Amino acid sequence: MINKASDYLNASGRIVIKLGSALFFDEANKFNQKWLQSFCQDVLLLKKQNKEIIIVASGAINFGLRKLNKERDDHDLNLLQAAASIGQIELIGAFKSIFDDADIPTAQVLLTSDDCDNRRRHLNSLNTLSKLLSENAIPIINENDTVATEEIKFGDNDRLAAKVAQMISADVLVLFSNIKGLCLIEDGRLNEDKIISEINRIDQDIENLVLAQKTKGSAGGMKTKIDA
């Protein structure tokens, strides 16, 4: 899984990995335990190479909505916040059960945009993350949806992951998604068999491709990955 980015990871000591919401569930909306188990084993291999790993994980809202047997309604902020408070326990528990078997501490860290931008909160967050890494823990970061308002809400974790990577001076940021990448448009339709493997400059053509591509089950999609 992570092997596809091995060249970048081998040269990096501090790595931020962001996981999109859709990765945690299969097409039947069932929790994809097998996928998470495989991902965490890859993370443990990186830990054995003395890499410092921080995971930014979306998915709390989706976990919570499943518990509540509710459909997602982006206009109902209170429902999303309530679902996040329920689902965050499920999300962290899924990671903890795997990392506990390897005797690796799992840490929950909830942040908002304001925590990253406010100087005092930024430093407090940085100090906490630095200490967690020094104690061989794996921080699992998510947006603090239960207290975030429309003004400070990221809306996705791609930008949050980028801010965290900048905050802790990460060597590399890896954004995981359930889609292959940025697709070309042919005859007015996305061609998922033709992927742009490398982007060195973001111009209007790239922006147009991004706007045409939305990830199902995610608040972000390709647009927020390019923005990040």
CATH number of the CATH domain containing 47: 3.40.1160.10
Same domain for 80 and 129, yes or no, is yes
Output phi, psi for 190, to 5 deg: -70, 130
Same domain for 103 and 167, yes or no, is yes
Which residues lie below 8 Å from residue 218, measured CB to CB, with a gap of 6+? 20, 21, 22, 58, 156, 177
Last residue of a domain, one of 145, 163, 178: 178
Q: What is the pLDDT of residue 48?
A: 96
Residue 210 pLDDT greater than 60, yes or no: no
Same domain for 152 and 199, yes or no, is no
Same domain for 113 and 132, yes or no, is yes
CA dihedral of 89, 98, 156, 122, whole degrees rounded to 10: 80
CB 40 within 8 A of CB 98: yes
Same domain for 68 and 94, yes or no, is yes
If one counts the domains in the chain, the total is 2
CB 46 within 8 A of CB 210: no
Q: Give pLDDT tens digits for 50-77.
A: 999 999 999 999 999 999 999 988 888 8
Same domain for 22 and 112, yes or no, is yes
Q: Give pLDDT tens digits for 87-99.
A: 999 999 999 999 9
Q: What is the pLDDT of residue 7?
A: 74
Same domain for 168 and 127, yes or no, is yes
Residue 222 pLDDT greater than 90, yes or no: no
Same domain for 184 and 120, yes or no, is no
How far is residue 159's CA from residue 112's CA, in Å, rounded to a whole number? Answer: 11
Percent of the chain with pLDDT over 90: 56
Q: What is the pLDDT of residue 28?
A: 86
Q: Give pLDDT tens digits for 13-64.
A: 999 999 998 899 988 889 999 999 999 999 999 999 999 999 999 999 999 9
Residue 182 pLDDT greater than 70, yes or no: no
Same domain for 91 and 114, yes or no, is yes
pLDDT band at 205 (very low <50, low <70, confident <90, very high): low
The beta-strand segments (E) located in 6-137 are: 14-19, 52-57, 106-111
Same domain for 210 and 109, yes or no, is no
Residue 126 pLDDT greater than 70, yes or no: yes
How far is residue 139's CA from residue 43's CA, in Å, rounded to a whole number? Answer: 12
Mean pLDDT score of the chain, rounded to an integer? 83
pLDDT band at 194 (very low <50, low <70, confident <90, very high): low
Which residues lie below 8 Å from residue 7, measured CB to CB, with a gap of 6+? none
The mean pLDDT of 158-162, rounded to a whole number, is: 90
Residues of the domain holding 80: 2-178
Higher pLDDT, 49 or 152: 49
Same domain for 166 and 221, yes or no, is no
pLDDT band at 9 (very low <50, low <70, confident <90, very high): confident
Same domain for 81 and 125, yes or no, is yes
